[in-house]
Amino acid sequence: MVKQKILCVGGAGFIGSHMSHKLANSDNYSVAQADIWSAKLKIRFENKPFAFHHIDISSDDDELSALVADHDIIFNLASKASPRLYVQDPLAVAKLNLFDGSKVIDACVKHRKKLVHFSTSEVYGKALGSTEPFSEDLSNCVTGPIRNHRWIYSTTKQLLDRMIFAHGRQSGLKFTIVRPFNVVGPLIDHVMVGPDDGAPRVFSYFMSALMNGEPLRLVDGGKALRTFIHVDDLVNALIAILDNPAKSNGEIFNIGTPQNEIRIADLATLMRDIFAANFEMSSVRSDIVTVDGQEFYGEGFEDTERRMPNIDKIKGLGWTPRIMLKDLLEDTMRYTWENRHRLTQEAMDAME
Ligand SMILES: NC(=O)c1ccc[n+]([C@@H]2O[C@H](COP(=O)([O-])OP(=O)(O)OC[C@H]3O[C@@H](n4cnc5c(N)ncnc54)[C@H](O)[C@@H]3O)[C@@H](O)[C@H]2O)c1
């Protein structure tokens, strides 16, 4: 059987490196990555080879177009996804997510290739007190005032979703949009060597603070509720989408683990308990403190209180999440602890 050729644009990051590794031995698919760095792929693949193309989608238009032409299915994962960046450099976030991202879409239209695009749970915006899970085809997408730059990530992602849909109708583009809900797993973000070292997501903030013996800082008291999905479950959902092209074409799929909902303040306590029970340095017990969101992230920060996925659609492809919160945290914390020296940004930069 001839393998379908997959190209993952932005495929050297957290999700792309796991997906590439999982598909490396597939009988049905081959996978290549187009990205501006490869450190996480090098770690994930250890000494085994992978098909990496150094492509910057903001400038390498001809190379991107030629690569898209040479593959069957294009995954677009390239993004800047970190809340601190949304308020500190909103223009860079918009440029990559929307303007550079639309080049990937245009290349798929031009060469008539199937697109699997990474949207985000953040497009749903604010829950506005509702307890209804977010649903792909029914929920409204309501964000905050323009002054609050925090919403630039979700609104640019939302606009790209709308453009992809429009191309489906007007250009005949074959596409699937996926909306992950807070993915966690090995290699999620770099390990911080101090409290101001970069802008990783909440798991990496808390884990780095635990390893550095620093306080775990809860933004606005850590009241927000989130669901967390293990990256292995997410990759299996992507494979279900690939294996069901007729059912997934023209559709949006939430991908999350509703059972893994937790308040961020409780996540901090749970991670501190797991750390104390499993790892060295358990005698150093980090404090848990609360910080103001605008102070922590910068002016223009605002959060949504709850983000709960309705996953009925993706379950219709025969997929269901399997990894529950405690196992997810223990697995990711153990990996991060054991690999802490090579997961600092400096160590990863040195691998390039
Ligand atoms: N991880 C999550 O929890 C989550 C949740 C919702 C949505 N998403 C979406 O899923 C996608 C993948 O997420 P991730 O966690 O793997 O992110 P990531 O930041 O680890 O990976 C993004 C990749 O894009 C690459 N990239 C950035 N600029 C580029 C450019 N100019 N040209 C080529 N490549 C470039 C980066 O080098 C990086 O490897 C993103 O679109 C993100 O918005 C992720």
In tens, the pLDDT along 124-160 reads 999 888 889 999 999 999 999 998 888 999 999 999 9
Give 35 Cα–ligand 1 centroid separation in angstroms.
10
Q: What single letter denotes the amino acid at residue 275?
A: F
* pTM, entire model: 0.96
C-alpha 304/C-alpha 23 separation (Å) is 35
Mean local confidence (pLDDT), 266-278: 95
Pick the atom of ligand 1 nearest to 17's CA.
16
Q: Residue 229 is inside which H or E element, if any?
A: strand 229-230
Q: Whose CA is nearest to atom 32 of ligand 1?
A: 56
Q: What is the atom index within ligand 1 of the atom nearest the CA of 231?
A: 1
Helices and strands of the chain, counted as H and E runs: 15, 14
pLDDT grade, residue 282 (50/70/90)?
Answer: low
Residue 79: pLDDT over 90:
yes
The whole-number pLDDT of residue 220 equals: 86
**Spatial contact of 124 and 134, defined as CB atoms under 8 Å apart:** yes
Q: Which residues line ligand 1 (CB under 6 A)?
A: 10, 12-16, 35-37, 55-58, 77-79, 81, 96, 100, 118, 120-121, 180, 182-183
Classify burial at 91, counting beta carbons within 10 Å of its beta carbon; exposed 0-12, middle 13-18, buried 19 or more.
exposed
Task: Identify the pLDDT of residue 331.
Answer: 97
pLDDT at residue 64 above 90?
A: yes
> Are 222 and 264 within 8 A, CB to CB?
yes
At 298, the pLDDT band (50, 70, 90 cuts) reads: confident
Which pair of structure tokens corresponds to residue 161?
């979703």
Asked if 13 and 30 count as a contact pair (C-beta separation under 8 A), the reply is no
* Residue of the CA atom closest to atom 19 of ligand 1: 13
Instruction: Please report the pLDDT score of residue 83 as a whole number.
Output: 74
Query: What is the rounded radius of gyration, in angstroms, for the C-alpha atoms of the chain?
Result: 20
Query: Any idea which residue has 């489906």 for tokens?
Result: 168
Bridge partners of residue 309, in order along the sequence: 134
Residue 71 identity (one-letter amino acid) = H
Q: What is the pLDDT of residue 237?
A: 98
Q: Ligand 1 mean position to 77 CA, how many Å?
A: 5
Query: Among 8, 9, 14, which is best to mutate for testing ligand 1, by the most ligand atoms less than 8 A from CB?
Result: 14
Max Cα separation, the chain?
62
pLDDT at 48 over 70: yes
Catalytic residues, by residue number, are 153
Q: How many whole angstroms from 122 Cα to the centroid of ligand 1? A: 14
> Distance of CA 306 to CAs 52, 152, 194, 325, Å?
37, 19, 29, 17
173-197 residue pLDDT tens: 999 999 999 999 999 999 998 877 8
The per-residue pLDDT for range 310-346, each reduced to its tens digit, is 999 999 999 999 999 999 999 999 999 999 999 999 9
Report CA(185)–ligand 1 centroid distance (Å): 14
Stretch among 205-214, 294-303, 326-335 having the lowest mean pLDDT? 294-303
Q: Give the domains, in start order, of the chain with CATH numbers.
A: 4-186+228-260+306-323 (3.40.50.720)
What is 5-25 written as a DSSP string?
A: EEEEETTTSHHHHHHHHHHTT
Q: What number of other Cβ atoms are within 10 A of residue 189's Cβ?
A: 24
- How many angstroms separate the CA atoms of 260 and 233, rounded? 12
Which of 75-89, 148-162, 223-237, 275-289 has the weakest average pLDDT?
A: 275-289
Pocket test for ligand 1, best of 18, 38, 79, 179 (most atoms within 8 A of CB): 79
Residue type at 24 in one-letter notation: A
**Which tokens belong to 252?**
């949006």
Q: Return left, alpha or beta for 234; rule: phi > 0 is left, psi -120 to 50 is alpha, else beta.
A: alpha
212 CA → ligand 1 middle, Å: 26
Residues 254 and 327 sit within 8 Å (Cβ to Cβ): no
Residue 284 pLDDT exceeds 70: no
What is the pLDDT at residue 168? 98
Region of poorest pLDDT, from 28-42, 63-77, 297-311: 297-311
Mean pLDDT for the stretch of residues 22-47? 95
**CA atoms of 246 and 228, how far apart (whole Å):** 28
Tell me the pLDDT band of 281, cut-offs 50, 70 and 90: low
Specify the pLDDT at position 283.
59
Determine the Cα–Cα distance for residues 181 and 178; give it in Å rounded to an integer.
10
